[in-house]
Amino acid sequence: SGCFRGSGGIQGKCATADLQNVLVTAVGGYVSRNLRSLWVQDTTVADGKYSGVKVVYNPSQITYLPEVGHRVNVSGEIIEYYDGTQIQYPTIAREGTATEMVVPVVVANSADIARDNPEARQYEGVLVTVQNVDVTEACFEDSRGRDFGGFIVTGNVMVGTAFNYDYNGDYRPSSVECFD
């Protein structure tokens, strides 16, 4: 229950989250002209399931911008936004002064985070690593035949550099094509 982004805009009443002492795992995500994102994770959850979340913020409305490896406290509204959970309208405060090494959660079975596995949602927002996989599709094109560095590994897991274009707002190459 709570709020979600539907075809008619925000629907429902948003619950609030109050996350304490979570680790920043990624920063610099581009959402729109006025919004950016970062990801935080509760490292006390050993298997990593349901321990990460995306935080969307307006850079002009926050006083502290965390860096990867910072411990922070985050509070804000929880929303389901286009099938992804995120915290919006956050307040972010640094917890301590140390900068930690970010260690990904090891996912033993790559199929657990497969693109077509509905249970993969338990790792949404979690920094993970998969081991002992083979590349099964070396080139992953978009609908226009462009390759942005994505590839598929054992278990139908997509890996690649689309993060730079989708989340960091970097320019996409205009004419890159897949070649075997």
Alpha-carbon distance of 97 to 44, in angstroms, equals 19
Question: For the ranges 14-18, 47-51, 110-114, 141-145, which has the lowest average pLDDT?
Answer: 141-145
Q: Residue 167 to residues 57, 88, 119, 121: CA-CA distances in angstroms? A: 13, 16, 23, 18
Q: Give the model's pLDDT for residue 179.
A: 56
pLDDT digits (tens, 9 = 90+) for 25-43: 999 887 888 999 999 999 9
Strand spans (E) along 31-168: 36-41, 52-57, 71-81, 84-94, 105-107, 128-130, 135-137, 151-153, 157-159
Q: Give 147's contacts (C-beta < 8 A, 6+ positions apart).
A: 139, 140, 141, 176, 177, 178
Q: Give the model's pLDDT for residue 178.
A: 58
Average pLDDT over residues 114-139: 89
For the cut 60, the answer to whether the pLDDT of residue 121 exceeds it is yes
Alpha-carbon distance of 58 to 88, in angstroms, equals 9
pLDDT digits (tens, 9 = 90+) for 50-95: 999 999 999 999 999 999 999 999 999 998 887 788 999 999 999 9
Indicate the average pLDDT of the chain: 84
Asked whether 55 and 93 are in contact (CB, 8 A), the reply is: no
pLDDT category of residue 13 using cuts at 50, 70 and 90? confident
Q: 74 is written with which tokens?
A: 């985050």
pLDDT digits (tens, 9 = 90+) for 154-163: 999 888 655 5
Q: 150 is written with which tokens?
A: 């994505």
Alpha-carbon distance of 88 to 111, in angstroms, equals 30
pTM of the model: 0.80
Question: For the ranges 5-19, 26-40, 96-110, 155-169, which has the lowest average pLDDT?
Answer: 155-169
Portion of the chain with pLDDT greater than 70, in percent:
77
Q: 101 is written with which tokens?
A: 């090494």
